[in-house]
Each structure stands twice: as C-alpha cells, then as structure tokens.
Amino acid sequence: MERPNAWKSYGKKQLNEVEKEAGDYRGFISDCKTERECAAEIVSRLEAAGYRELEQAVKDGKKLKAGDKVYLCRMGKAVLSFLIGKQPLEKGMNIVGAHIDSPRLDIKQNPLYEDADFAYADTHYYGGIKKYQWVARELALHGVVVKKDGTSVPVVIGEDEADPVVGISDLLIHLAQDQMGKKLSEGVTGEDLDIILAGRPLEGAEKEPVKAMLLSILKEKYGLEEEDFLSAEIEAVPAGKARDFGLDRSMILGYGHDDRVCAFAELKAVLGLKKIPDYTCCCMFVDKEEIGSVGATGMRANYLENAVAELTALEGEYSELKVRRALQNSRMLSCDVSAGYDPLYASAFEKKNAAYLGRGVCYNKFTGSRGKSGSNDANAEYMGKIRKIMDGNGIAWQTAELGKVDVGGGGTIAYICALYGMEVVDSGVAVLSMHAPMEIISKADLYEAVKAYRAFMAEA
C-alpha cells in the first residue's frame, strides 16, 4: 500500500517540465502575497487566455456555447472561472476550488503609536499562527488604502531590493528567563506583535516626533494621512522571494503555499486543457478560508450559486430547478494543502496514513478533528471514480489524514460545497511547516497536482 516516490518515475522530459512549472510557481508566490494580488494575477492570466467577465457576457446577452470562457472577480479577492462544456449545465460541473488567503498579520484600523523613540504599527493576526515564528524576521507590507474620495492606493513595501523592510523585535536571550519558561503559545502574545516602522525623530516636531517622521514619509511617498488607515487593508507578510530548497533543488521554500500552490495548480490545469471538456469546468479561487470561509468573499457567500444562475440564464432558459441540478450533479475537488509527514515530529502522524513530500498529489477522504468533526467525508463511490482517473492518467497520488486521530485536525471549504449535494473530496499538495512564515513543498507534488486537476476536469 506504500505509494512510490514520484521523482523515481521521471525521465529527462518530465524533469524539465517539473522545473518549468516550479519556476513559474516560484514567481507567482513571490509576487502574489495577498488575496488581492493573487486575484489580480489570476484574472490577468485568465484574460490572456480568452476569458471575459461574466458581467459583460450577461450584458451582451448572447447564448453561451461549448468552449466559451467567462470569469467573475468578487471585490478583488475571490475569482471564479468557467470553461463551458459540451453537456448542459444541469448535468453538473467539474469544479476545482482552492483558497488564496494565507495566515499573516493585519494592520489594525488605528495602528500607529510611538514608544521609546520607535514608531509602531499594531496588528491583529489573521488565521492560525504560531506567534513566536513572526518575530525577529523581515516583514513586508502589502495591501491597499482606500481614500475617502474612493481612490485606492496600492502598497507594497519591502520586496524590492532597494526597499527597506520592517519587523517585530524579540526579547534578547540574556533577559528571557521568564519568557523561556512560558508555554510556547504564551511566550509571544497577539498584542506583542507590533511592527517597528520608524526610529528617527522628525526635526522640529515636539509631540511624538518619530511618529511624525513616519507620517511625513507616508504623506510624501504615498499621499496618506493617519486617518486613511481607517479604510485600509494592509497585511504584514514575510519579505523576499520564494527559493529553491535543498541542495538537490527538489523543493520550494516560500510564503503562502497554503493554499496558493493548489490555486496555481488549478489555474495551470485549466489553462492547459487541450480540448473542450464534456462538462463545464469551474475553477474557484476563494478568500477567507483561514478564518472560517466567512464574509462576502469567503466560500460561505453565495457567489458560486449566483454565477451558476447567471450561466443557466445564458445557456438558454433560466429556471431555479436547473441551477439546483447543476450544483447537485457537480463533482468537486476541494483543493487544499495537506500536512506533510515530518520525521522530526513523527509522534504527531500515523505513518500509514500520512502525506509524504514527493509522493504526488494527496487525497483526504475526510478531514476534521477528533472523530471527523467538521469534515466532509467523501463517498467511497466517488473515491473509486477518482482512483480510476488518477491511475488512468499515470498520476502519482497518495491518500492521507491530517495527523494522528486524537492529535488535532483542520477543515477546508469541502463541507460548504457539499451542502449543495455535490460529490466533494479534498485534494492537495503536502506541505512541511504549514502556516509558518516560510513553508516547504516538493516540486514533484506541484507538478502532479497540475496533471491531476487537468485530468479531473477533462474526465470526471
């Protein structure tokens, strides 16, 4: 039952393809560090491939036919794309869905203060993080500030070689006796995660002169006032580019593999489809998964359903029944990363049912924690179908659970889509150090995920 390592099966041609995909992906996650940046890049690649906005298609009112391509982008943070298939929508779609938000530190609405000649930005962390991992390292600021007049100012500071970086200090070891005696979860607290933005007083400023210096730079370089933070979304993320990892360059170290590696794989998969598929292929790139799929851009919002309603109308005649059938008859891969087996923390895993880096795309029949709670448990019949597609297309794949039974767990967007009655199974790439500022994946698994999602869209 042990799954073979995918690298063993590659000849020269495949190794070249693996490297090519990895290079494209390294660039993607180096440049796209927020959900907005991911959505913009996805939209630009979709448009380059002939996709047009669903809203425009609705305005045009022309019937959609097989091979037509449309997309929608919700609030700049979530994207759905549809490649219309030969079968009517009510026969169901082949859906792949990943999320494009990642754990990070969000700047608070009223963030700025001065203390001991430092100017700070206060943060509220987003998603599940080990707080101690985010101190004493270089951070970059990405996001947007929306002014009262509606103009949006994009912010990216700390990525260009010529840019400064920012970061959070940690207590020196010499004075850390108390801190070191605390539980790992309490050594650094959420309110300790304040980012140093400046350290030099502005000449002539009497009150809070370092903060005044910071404000003068924000005004001069970005045209921003302090109050503009009230309508801003700025995320502090690890600075710098993704890198090859390991002397054999078999892996990639980077920020946000969870879940941009699956989002990227979906995109590459659909853009590489050679023929018009039988069933409409839907790719979802959603926001807010890391905080419970909430909000208007999270999976729990109704944009998939609304989009399918629009498509149904554009296909011919709208009826609610057709929309319900289209959703219920669909097949979906909920594409999200899986916990890579880590020999250094072997006791957290059950070896037979763990995901191994390099052994191909991973399927989790169920996720959840302590008795599968919160899981979508895929049907055996559906798993059988997936096995057939994977084996039939020579794809390296494996199955896994998220760690040992009583150790912990996690969830994905799978259960939300399953509410429509469609078949759903979790599928993704194994990640080492998941949710750490820098995560690790195997290039082989990325390559196999692209192939797997393409095969699924063509054949499911």
Binding interface with Mn ion (CB under 5 A):
258-259, 336
Least distance in Å: CB of 439 to Mn ion? 10
3-7 long-range contacts (CB < 8 A, ≥24 apart) are 3/356, 3/359, 3/360, 3/396, 3/397, 3/398, 4/359, 4/396, 5/356, 5/358, 5/359, 5/444, 6/358, 6/359, 6/360, 6/396, 6/444, 6/445, 6/447, 6/448, 7/250, 7/358, 7/444
Q: How far apart are CA 135 and CA 184, in angstroms?
A: 13
Q: Give the nearest distance from C-beta 103 to Mn ion in angstroms.
A: 7
Closest approach of Cβ 337 to Mn ion, in Å?
5
- Minimum distance from residue 259 beta carbon to Mn ion (Å): 4
Residue 310's alpha-carbon distances to 56, 59, 324, 329, in angstroms, are 11, 11, 13, 17
Q: List beta partners, residue 140.
A: 237
- Asked if residue 230 lies in contact with residue 110, where contact means CB atoms within 8 angstroms, the answer is yes
Backbone φ and ψ of 103, nearest 5°: -60, 145
Residues whose CB falls within 8 Å of the CB of residue 264, separated by 6 or more in sequence, listed in order: 24, 25, 28, 29, 446
Beta-strand ranges (E) seen in 380-445 are 397-399, 409-410, 423-428, 430-431, 439-442
Nearer to Mn ion, 124 or 200 (CB): 124
Our CB check for Mn ion shows the closer of 46 and 414 to be 414
The Cβ of residue 127 has, within 10 Å, a number of other Cβ atoms equal to 17
User: What is the smallest separation between the CB atom of 410 and Mn ion, expressed in angstroms?
Assistant: 7
- Which residue lies nearer to Mn ion by CB, 36 or 322? 36
Q: Which is nearer to Mn ion, 81 or 338 (CB)?
A: 338
Q: Which is nearer to Mn ion, 311 or 402 (CB)?
A: 402
Min CB(434)–Mn ion separation in Å: 7
Single-letter code of the amino acid located at 189: T
Q: Closest CB to Mn ion belongs to which residue? A: 259
CB nearer to Mn ion: pick between 288 and 454:
288
Nearer to Mn ion, 259 or 266 (CB): 259
Q: Provide the minimum distance between the beta carbon of 34 and Mn ion in the complex, in angstroms, as a whole number.
A: 15
Q: Is 298 helix (H, G, I), strand (E, B) or coil?
A: strand
